[in-house]
Amino acid sequence: MSDTHAASTAFVRHDPLPPAPPPVTETGIVKWMRENLFATIPNAILTLLSLWAIYTVLSGVIPWITNGVWGAENIRECRELLAGATGGCFSVISERWNQLVFGIAYPREEYWRPTLAFVLLIVSVFPVLFPRAPRKMLILTIIYPFVAYWLIWGGTVLTPILLFAGAVVGYVVYSKLVASNFAAGFFGGLTAAAIAWWLAGFAIDAGSDVLALREVVSRDMGGFMLNMILGVVCVSLSLPIGIVLALGRQSDMFVIKWICIVFIEFIRGVPLITLLFVANVVLAYFLPPGSNFDLILRVIIMITMFASAYIAEVIRGGLAALPKGQYEAADSLGLDYPQAMRLIILPQALKISIPGIVNVAVGLFKDTVLVSIISMFDLVGMIRGPILASTDWNGVYWELWGFAALLFFVVCYSISQYSQWLERQLQTDHR
């Protein structure tokens, strides 16, 4: 016995074992399926059920898309072409493309202007979205609003130039005065800009045909272009206003604090649609008779107020999440309030707030379709009104609403992906 025992314990390996491949069931696709699809019997049943459900949906949708008709003139022709087979009448999209994108009244020969404005938009948001882009490109971003206004609404080139000049005058006055006192700089800058714009008004009236593009009135804006105008303008205005409101709500100054609280709580407590009706109808009663206050401008003001109240609350959450020590460290180094906010507090608070801000921005962009209720012909307004009501395309719901959904999804999903990328870029704490 002792011999065998000794033989089994004392052991020397002379030839090391070569590595062998794992059994088939433990690698690659087989292993993955065993673990993820067929781990247990109920799991396997659910997998089969899901596959069946996916198959049912796809077997309906795919022929609808692949059999789709793109060249028909109207719905009757489309139905004839299909001859009873499953298939979508996508020709409505190609036939009414211009209406879906630009609305019904925008002059056909001027379509290049909003298109160019859209291309420039992409170029000029680039340096804002990507911190590594050359800083000089920010000049594009600064002049873009004036150029886009000129391109879309038309009129004399003096309008954007003088508006821009007025803004520059305001900024110069602000930067001169702000050294001594922030309030003096702020209100001084505003006043200077207002005076400059008022003077510019005369110059624009005098030179109304200098390099003029054909004028297009706000009533004629429509289609997805209108959604883009409202979305882009309101998001970019509501972010700075939201920051100011959030800081104001935290202020030690009693009056400012309460103005901000009342504004935020009131606007947040009211449905957006009522604000839009106010913009459309009621606001006219408060304005001097005969004054013509642009409808899009009124809608922009209302949506911006609405969104900025939400963004203010999101940013307040970010501010509250910062440890008190950050404020104290900034103070103890001798930074004054604007410096501490700009350099220390807001970069961190905004970073925390990115998901919330994006949430509001995406929601806001989709809410721009509500203007169809106050009879503006945005994308949804166009579909509901002129297109579906026409005898040519009465009844092609799936194709049109699917197209509208797709447009919004592409934009909103891109915003969401961008924000996740940005969050990863800004992550400095656990690297």
Query: Where do contacts with other proteins occur on this chain (CB under 8 A)?
Result: 323, 325-326, 328-329, 331-336, 339, 343-344, 347-348, 351, 426, 428-431
Q: How far is the CB of 321 from other proteins (least distance, A)?
A: 12
Closer of 13 and 430 to other proteins (Cβ) = 430
Q: How far is the CB of 420 from other proteins (least distance, A)?
A: 18
Please, are residues 172 and 191 in contact by the beta-carbon 8 Å criterion?
A: no
Closer of 3 and 252 to other proteins (Cβ) = 252
Closer of 60 and 338 to other proteins (Cβ) = 338
Question: Phi/psi class of residue 217: alpha, beta or left (left: φ > 0; alpha: ψ in -120 to 50)?
Answer: beta
Closer of 348 and 390 to other proteins (Cβ) = 348
Closer of 115 and 348 to other proteins (Cβ) = 348
Closer of 84 and 323 to other proteins (Cβ) = 323
Structure tokens at 342: 């700009």
Amino acid at residue number 153? W
Q: How far is the CB of 199 from other proteins (least distance, A)?
A: 36
Q: How far is the CB of 331 from other proteins (least distance, A)?
A: 6
CA distance 127 to 142: 11
Q: Residue 226: which residues within 8 A CB-CB, separation 6 or more?
A: 103, 296, 368, 371, 376, 377, 378, 379
Closer of 19 and 334 to other proteins (Cβ) = 334
Closer of 203 and 322 to other proteins (Cβ) = 322
Closer of 97 and 337 to other proteins (Cβ) = 337
**Helical segments of 67-154, H only:** 75-82, 91-95, 97-102, 112-129, 138-153
Q: How far is the CB of 419 from other proteins (least distance, A)?
A: 17
Q: How far is the CB of 336 from other proteins (least distance, A)?
A: 6
List the Cα angle 105/111/112 in 5-degree steps.
Answer: 165
CA distance 179 to 170: 15
Nearest CA to 400 among 99, 111, 164? 99
- Residue 128: count of CB within 10 angstroms of its CB: 14
- Residue 37: count of CB within 10 angstroms of its CB: 14
Q: How far is the CB of 352 from other proteins (least distance, A)?
A: 10
Q: How far is the CB of 134 from other proteins (least distance, A)?
A: 19
Q: How far is the CB of 430 from other proteins (least distance, A)?
A: 6
Closer of 76 and 342 to other proteins (Cβ) = 342
Burial class (CB in 10 A: 0-12, 13-18, 19+), 12: exposed
CA distance 252 to 140: 37
Q: How far is the CB of 97 from other proteins (least distance, A)?
A: 46
CA distance 180 to 104: 53
Element containing residue 417 per DSSP (H, E)? helix 397-426
User: Helices H, strands E: what count in the chain?
Assistant: 21, 0
CA distance 47 to 100: 41
